[in-house]
């Protein structure tokens, strides 16, 4: 729903900087050159306290959310973004907020998410309503994008201190660290929501955490925000040092419980925020350092933004000095425009906002004339011929200018958007495209009259040189046409419950977990190619954990390619399955079958808007 209140003032402020950035790009770039200025990662809200996590080929970035115009750490919710390439980030919305913890009333501060037991555990500091004390809560979800639910209905642990981080050691023992002004840990049990023993205070010695001058109450540099991980047998604790303002420093230890040795600074004091907060991951063969600063318009100590730099450890395992840039990390690979891309997958957004979409997921909204979305490094290859976008409008709409290289770059297509009768009444608009070849930065620039024009949920380019959806009737609009059943079960077309369009496809009567809707794609596959799958699923009975799988039979041997992870579907809404997998075989391919199955059980489920390309 569009809110009744006017467009936030920060939106107008942000557009000013985006114009400046695009001018810089226009000067610095020629067509086909990779664009710059992709830090901070998110432009449409303030984000803080990054906690990155790598899972299934994507970096998930969990953050806090500084409210507009904050003059304190006014934070009520957490956010999650994800990226396969470290430059185009998908906004997954608000998977958890203060209301998740019925016993908490304020301070949705710096947390950490860790995967375990097929679930995702999010440890956060919040203020306990009953006594006003900062404590650590833990929430759990079946998917990295949530929704997260309170795992305990009470704090996990609490002593008035903040900033939890978790290390799961090689043997499986997990440690929860937190603290400001102290530094503490407990040993978590395998269930990740209870612990053994009591909280242990880590000795803050100057040998372990450096020397702070002129503060007898805090003689070491350690301030807050520990980030503990293991690399090549060495334990690292990266932390915010010496408030205020803070810099990022680190210590190392031979074991998860110390003894710690101070190793020096990583990131100097920079960036208009008196706090900083680090998260470090390895992804796709590179190392990435996440932090926050006050780089957006209106930004500062209480209106922060998360950014990222790629770095390489020194040969002896020490950190190099890492400084803040507006360039950010280089792109990993390219973005495929011939599969469905979420509109909220953004390298740089100007003027736009995001919100929950009525048909599932998140959409881009509050679009006004001149706003735009930049998507970096889009691999058009030999050329796109069409552009389609999922749009909704309660006003008279406008148009999407499909541009390359900059927001004022060449227009390769223009799609009109009319009124759809509501901000969440979705339809698909398609227009012809000419001149989109090679790998370019894509700019979707929105144009029209005054006020909000339309919302956009997702988009996709088409071409004639292959690369389209390999499935027949993937959107299920033509009943059961094109679909068969692997094993047992009965297909039916459902006009009553749809994800998009007017029909979905259901299966009931399954007698084994591997039974499900299927299509033979033998003649359509290319050996050694990467394929992206998206499927929307919904339970008809129970809570089936649905996944897409490809069976390949070559030279008499059958192998199975997992196309998406299994995700639990429920009957109340649609859940997105998505994944990218390399498909290859040896010898002669005699059968390739795309199918949906469940991790276990025989519950019935619905599918819609299925794409395999």
In the complex with ligand FUB, the residue whose CB is nearer, 109 or 260, is: 109
Q: How far is 488 from 510, CA to CA, in rounded Å?
A: 5
Backbone angles phi, psi at 524, to 5 degrees: -105, -5
- Shortest separation between residue 304's beta carbon and ligand FUB, angstroms: 8
Interacting positions 316-375 with ligand FUB (CB under 6 A): none
Is 223 noted as a catalytic residue in this protein? yes
- SS3 for 288? strand
CA torsion 578-329-303-229 (nearest 10°) is 80
**Using an 8 Å Cβ cutoff, are 242 and 15 in contact?**
no
Quick one: tokens of 331? Answer: 């792109």
- Shortest separation between residue 78's beta carbon and ligand FUB, angstroms: 11
In the complex with ligand FUB, the residue whose CB is nearer, 50 or 208, is: 50
Interacting positions 572-591 with ligand FUB (CB under 6 A): none
Is 342 noted as a catalytic residue in this protein? no
Q: Residues binding ligand FUB: what is the number (CB under 6 A)?
A: 14
In the complex with ligand FUB, the residue whose CB is nearer, 109 or 209, is: 109
Q: How far is 220 from 216, CA to CA, in rounded Å?
A: 9
Q: In whole angstroms, how far apart are CA 428 and each of 434, 481, 542, 572, 609?
A: 19, 21, 32, 24, 12
- SS3 for 347? coil
- Shortest separation between residue 108's beta carbon and ligand FUB, angstroms: 8
Residue 413 contacts ligand FUB per CB under 6 A: no
Residue 538 contacts ligand FUB per CB under 6 A: no
Interacting positions 232-261 with ligand FUB (CB under 6 A): 240
Interacting positions 54-73 with ligand FUB (CB under 6 A): 64, 73
Q: In whole angstroms, how far apart are CA 296 and each of 181, 261, 454, 502, 536?
A: 29, 35, 25, 42, 35
How many CB atoms within 10 Å of residue 490?
A: 12
Given the DSSP bridges, would you call strands 89-91 and 75-83 parallel, antiparallel or unpaired?
Answer: antiparallel
Residue 275 contacts ligand FUB per CB under 6 A: yes
- Shortest separation between residue 343's beta carbon and ligand FUB, angstroms: 28
Residue 48 contacts ligand FUB per CB under 6 A: yes
**Using an 8 Å Cβ cutoff, are 566 and 498 in contact?**
no
Q: How far is 109 from 211, CA to CA, in rounded Å?
A: 27
Q: How far is 505 from 489, CA to CA, in rounded Å?
A: 12
- Of the candidates 515, 468, 470, 473, the residue with the CA atom closest to the CA atom of residue 493: 473
Among 225, 279, 349, 506, the residue binding ligand FUB under the rule CB under 6 A is: 225
Build a one-symbol-per-residue string for 97-116: x at contacts with ligand FUB by CB under 6 A, - elsewhere: ------------xx------
- Shortest separation between residue 96's beta carbon and ligand FUB, angstroms: 15
- How many CA atoms lie less than 13 Å away from 488 in the CB half-sphere? 8
Residue 49 contacts ligand FUB per CB under 6 A: yes
Burial of 226 (0-12, 13-18, 19+ CB in 10 A): buried
CA torsion 512-517-523-525 (nearest 10°) is -80
- Shortest separation between residue 232's beta carbon and ligand FUB, angstroms: 27
- Shortest separation between residue 69's beta carbon and ligand FUB, angstroms: 16
Build a one-symbol-per-residue string for 181-220: x at contacts with ligand FUB by CB under 6 A, - elsewhere: ----------------------------------------
Given 49, 77, 353, 441, which residue is catalytic?
49
Among 277, 376, 440, 538, the residue binding ligand FUB under the rule CB under 6 A is: 277
Q: Is the peptide bond before 598 cis (omega within 30 degrees of 0)?
A: no
In the complex with ligand FUB, the residue whose CB is nearer, 224 or 342, is: 224
- Shortest separation between residue 110's beta carbon and ligand FUB, angstroms: 3
- Paired strand residues for 168: 174
Among 38, 77, 163, 342, the residue binding ligand FUB under the rule CB under 6 A is: 163
Q: How far is 223 from 247, CA to CA, in rounded Å?
A: 10
**DSSP H helical ranges for 191-340:** 206-209
- Shortest separation between residue 277's beta carbon and ligand FUB, angstroms: 4
Q: Is the peptide bond before 244 cis (omega within 30 degrees of 0)?
A: yes
Interacting positions 70-89 with ligand FUB (CB under 6 A): 73, 75
In angstroms, how far is CA 446 from the centroid of its own chain?
24
Planar angle of CA 266, 270, 273, nearest 5 degrees: 115
Residue 222 contacts ligand FUB per CB under 6 A: no
In the complex with ligand FUB, the residue whose CB is nearer, 289 or 458, is: 289
Among 162, 335, 505, 563, the residue binding ligand FUB under the rule CB under 6 A is: 162
Build a one-symbol-per-residue string for 141-160: x at contacts with ligand FUB by CB under 6 A, - elsewhere: --------------------
- Shortest separation between residue 365's beta carbon and ligand FUB, angstroms: 26
- SS3 for 392? strand
Given 150, 163, 223, 441, which residue is catalytic?
223
Task: Give the residues lining the site for ligand FUB (CB under 6 A).
Answer: 48-49, 64, 73, 75, 109-110, 162-163, 224-225, 240, 275, 277
Residues marked as catalytic = 49, 223
């Amino acid at each position: 729903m569009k809110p009744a209140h006017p467009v936030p003032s920060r939106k107008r402020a942000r557009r000013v900087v985006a114009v400046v950035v695009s001018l810089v790009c226009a000067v610095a770039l020629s067509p086909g050159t990779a664009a710059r200025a992709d830090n901070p990662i998110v432009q449409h809200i303030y984000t803080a306290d990054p906690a990155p996590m790598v899972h299934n080929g994507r970096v998930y970035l969990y953050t806090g959310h500084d409210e507009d115009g904050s003059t304190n750490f006014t934070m009520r919710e957490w956010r999650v973004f994800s990226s396969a390439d470290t430059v185009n980030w998908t906004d997954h919305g608000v998977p958890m907020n203060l209301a998740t913890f019925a016993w908490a009333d304020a301070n949705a501060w710096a947390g950490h998410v860790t995967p375990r037991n097929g679930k995702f555990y999010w440890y956060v500091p919040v203020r306990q309503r009953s006594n006003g004390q900062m404590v650590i809560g833990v929430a759990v979800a079946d998917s990295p994008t949530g929704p997260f639910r309170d795992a305990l209905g009470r704090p996990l642990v609490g002593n008035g201190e903040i900033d939890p981080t978790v290390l799961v050691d090689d043997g499986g023992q997990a440690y929860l660290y937190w603290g400001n002004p102290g530094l503490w840990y407990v040993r978590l049990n395998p269930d990740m929501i209870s612990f053994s023993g009591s909280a242990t205070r880590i000795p803050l010695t100057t040998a372990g955490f450096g020397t702070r001058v002129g503060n007898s109450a805090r003689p070491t540099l350690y301030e807050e925000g520990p980030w503990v991980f293991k690399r090549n047998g060495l334990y690292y604790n990266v932390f915010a040092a010496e408030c205020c303002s803070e810099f990022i420093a680190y210590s190392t230890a031979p074991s998860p419980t110390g003894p710690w040795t101070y190793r020096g600074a990583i990131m100097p004091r920079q960036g208009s925020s008196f706090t900083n907060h680090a998260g470090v991951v390895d992804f796709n063969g590179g190392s990435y350092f996440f932090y926050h600063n006050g780089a957006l318009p209106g930004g500062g100590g209480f209106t922060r933004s998360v950014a990222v730099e790629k770095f390489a450890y020194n040969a002896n395992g020490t950190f190099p000095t890492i400084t803040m840039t507006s360039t950010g990390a280089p792109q990993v690979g390219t973005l495929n425009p011939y599969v469905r891309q979420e509109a909220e997958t953004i390298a740089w957004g100007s003027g736009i906002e995001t919100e929950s979409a009525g048909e599932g997921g998140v959409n881009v909204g509050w679009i006004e004339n001149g706003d735009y979305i930049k998507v970096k490094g889009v691999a058009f290859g030999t050329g796109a011929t069409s552009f389609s976008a999922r749009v909704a409008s309660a006003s008279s709409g406008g148009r999407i200018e499909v541009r390359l290289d900059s927001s004022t770059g060449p227009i390769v297509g223009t799609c009109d958007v009319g009124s759809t009768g509501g901000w969440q009444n979705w339809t698909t608009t398609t227009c012809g495209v000419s001149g989109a070849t090679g790998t370019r930065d894509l700019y979707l620039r929105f144009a029209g009259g005054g006020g909000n024009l339309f919302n956009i949920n997702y988009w996709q380019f088409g071409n004639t040189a292959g690369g389209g959806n390999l499935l027949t009737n993937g959107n299920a609009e033509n009943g059961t046409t094109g679909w068969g059943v692997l094993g047992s079960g009965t297909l039916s077309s459902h006009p009553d419950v749809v994800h998009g369009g007017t029909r979905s496809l259901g299966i009931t009567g399954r007698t084994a977990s591997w039974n499900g809707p299927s299509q033979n794609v033998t003649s359509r596959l290319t050996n050694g190619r990467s394929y992206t799958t998206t499927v929307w699923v919904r339970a008809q009975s129970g809570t089936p954990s649905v996944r897409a799988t490809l069976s390949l039979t070559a030279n008499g041997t059958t192998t199975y390619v997992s196309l998406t992870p299994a995700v639990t579907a429920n009957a109340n809404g649609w859940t997105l399955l998505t994944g990218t997998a390399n498909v290859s075989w040896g010898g002669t391919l005699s059968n390739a079958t795309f199918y949906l199955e469940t991790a276990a059980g025989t519950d019935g489920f619905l599918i819609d808007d299925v794409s395999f390309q």
